[in-house]
Amino acid sequence: MEDVTHLRGWPPYNKGVIAKWLLLACCSAAAFAANGPGKVFPYAYTQEDLPNGLRLIVVPTEFPNIVATYIVVQTGSRNEVEAGHTGFAHLFEHLMFKGTKNYPKEKYTETLRNIGASSNAFTTDDYTCFYNVFSKEDLPTVLAMEADRFQNLKYSEPEFKTESLAVLGEYNKNSSNPGQKLREVLVDTAFDRSTYKHTTMGFLKDVQDMPNQYDYSIKFFDRYYRPEYTTILVVGDAKAKEVRALVDKGWGQWKHGEYKPEIPQEPAQEQPRTAHVDWQGAALPTISIAYKGPAYTDTAKDSAALDALAYLAFSQTSDLYQKLVVTEQKADSLFGSMPNRVDPTLFTISARVKKQADMDYVRDQILAAVKTFQEKPVDAARLDAVRKHLRYQLALSMDSSDSIAGVLASFVALRRTPDTLNKLFDQYAALTPEDVQKAAAKYLVESGRTTVTLTPGGAR
């Protein structure tokens, strides 16, 4: 199998040609009300813990014949706490395809091919996810094979060294994108101790040193590929009781681990920071302004309020976008985002500017917009439109068992339960214009700001 890593890059470079490939999945299934009461996640599900700490979540859906298994390991680049070993969560995603005694790599691949499964894996800041989509009759085979590799993975040092080169190849194929470089520099500048200081790919020097880290890789597996870090999501044409029996059989013997990482806490930033990237080659000047934001929460309004703020202040329907991109046409893109992460992370606003001379102007406009949202509550009708958008976006993204599992995986990675989704949407529902204003004032402060610019070679 090949793997994919979630990386942030720039929006499509040729909107007409590429637009289709960015389409979000569509369709929804169960009953849904855009503004109504009730839970946004419309499916009934079971959630059970095995004695060893493994969690199993089964979501039967009305889509016939197909089952999706998403196995979420709550280990991502966030867990890379030791110097010199960044990128290991992602490397491990690759190594998980190296096989076991019972299912050597070739047999594993062959079996998945024979059942026509769509299989892959990806790594993020906070988790690694291994997924398969297949016909329901193959569920016993898939769960048994996955149980085997999670418990009995085996790879030699030469195999390890060769795979680490494929990871370098992955770094290389991403490296022609200036947005990628900008992101690397942004997180490296903004953070001092947080493991979000490096991207999921890791620092290049660590990626280049991976071939020498065989012993460490075994330690990494021993620490994190354990039941207490793992949640199995089974979504589709499946019955909870039967799935539980299969999981008990294959996964019940898996031993609970001992290791708990001490994830360093980021100290408070005391003054604004800046950095610059000289891009060798053609690029449009780009500016990213990031603020130290909160960790994901669904027991307070902070994450939800900042997420709403990103839409209100910096999305396509925001006044600033209309001014900079549509009316004045000084920038060709503008967006803001507050990602949901386990640890405190960045609220980021980015703009790509057409002319170097307008960089300062665009920066000042972004800062002025931040100030406006700190000083005045937003229009209640616009906040309602954001709420409606979020709910329809969610409904539209759940068009198959596969895509439902994908949505759930990102929330299970945060709080190990699908109810996370409902709780977050309860927070959106309760937001007031004052909440958004308060969050802007609390988090988007000058002393917590990092500004990174990128310009084409020597044109600073």
Site for another protein in 14-53 (CB under 8 A): 14-29, 32, 34
State which of residues 82, 102, 104, 116 lies at the interface with another protein (CB under 8 A): 116
Among 75-83, 158-166, 234-242, 298-306, the segment contacting another protein (CB under 8 A): 158-166
Report, in Å, the least distance between residue 54 CB and another protein. 27
* Of 405, 413, 457, nearest in space to 59 by CA: 405
Query: Which own/partner contact pairs does 35-39 have at CB distance under 8 Å and 24+ positions apart?
Result: 35/384, 35/387, 35/388, 35/391, 39/422, 39/425
Beta bridge mates, 231? 55, 72
Quote the tokens at residue 307.
């997420």
176 binds another protein (CB under 8 A): yes
329 binds another protein per the rule CB under 8 A? yes
Tokens of 96: 């998980």
Q: Which of 46, 52, 111, 120 binds another protein (CB under 8 A)?
A: 120
- Is 392 among the residues that bind another protein (CB under 8 A)? yes
CA distance 30 to 28: 7
| Residue 18 C-beta: closest distance to another protein, Å | 6
Q: In this chain, which of 12, 53, 84, 261 binds another protein, going by CB under 8 A?
A: 12
Q: Is 182 in the site for another protein (CB under 8 A)?
A: no
Q: Which residue has the tokens 């199998």?
A: 1
Using CB under 8 A as the binding rule, whether residue 154 contacts another protein is answered as no
**Shortest separation between residue 401's beta carbon and another protein, angstroms:** 10
Question: Quick check: 142 binds another protein (CB under 8 A)?
Answer: no
**Is residue 267 close enough to count as binding another protein by CB under 8 A?**
no
Min. distance of Cβ 13 from another protein in angstroms?
Answer: 2
Q: Per rule CB under 8 A, is residue 404 in the interface with another protein? A: no
CA atoms within 13 A on the CB side of 60: 9
Residues 430-459 as x/- pattern, contact with another protein by CB under 8 A: ---------------------------x--
Residue 435 Cα distances to 299, 303, 378, angstroms: 14, 11, 10
Contact characters 353-372, another protein, x per CB under 8 A: -x------------------
Q: Which is nearer to another protein, 396 or 429 (CB)?
A: 396
For residue 160, the minimal CB distance to another protein (Å) is: 8
**DSSP-based helix, strand, coil % in the chain, nearest 5:** 45, 15, 35
**Per-residue contact track with another protein, 221 to 260, x per CB under 8 A?**
----------------------------------------
Sequence letter at residue 347: F
User: Got the DSSP string for 228-284?
Assistant: GGEEEEEEES--HHHHHHHHHHHHTTPPP------PPPPPPP-S-EEEEEEESS---
Q: Return the residue of 107, 276, 376, 388 that touches another protein, per CB under 8 A.
A: 388
Choose the stretch contacting another protein; rule: CB under 8 A; options: 79-87, 192-200, 215-223, 384-392: 384-392
- Closest CB to another protein among residues 49, 384: 384
Closest listed residue to residue 169, CA positions, set 201, 132, 198, 139: 201
Asked if 13 interacts with another protein (CB under 8 A), we say yes
H runs (alpha helix) in 7-50: 15-18
Window contacting another protein (CB under 8 A); options: 82-90, 280-288, 289-297, 431-439: 280-288
The two structure tokens encoding residue 41: 């996640």
Judged by CB under 8 A, the residue of 107, 322, 434, 459 near another protein is 322
| Least Cβ distance, residue 436 to another protein (angstroms) | 16
Distance, CA of 308 to CA of 439 (rounded, Å): 10
75 or 400: CB nearest another protein:
400
DSSP state of 99: B
1 touching another protein, by CB under 8 A: yes
Backbone CA torsion sign across 384, 386, 389, 390: negative
Which amino acid is located at 185 in the chain? V
Give the pairing type, strands 273-279 and 449-456.
parallel
Q: Which stretch binds another protein (CB under 8 A): 229-237, 295-303, 340-348, 395-403?
A: 395-403
The reply on whether position 137 binds another protein by CB under 8 A is: no
Half-sphere exposure of 142 (CA within 13 A, CB side): 29
What residue ranges in 113-197 does DSSP mark as E strands? 118-123, 128-135
Residue 37 beta carbon to another protein: minimum distance, rounded to whole angstroms: 16
Residue pair 160/218 in contact (Cβ under 8 Å)? The answer is no
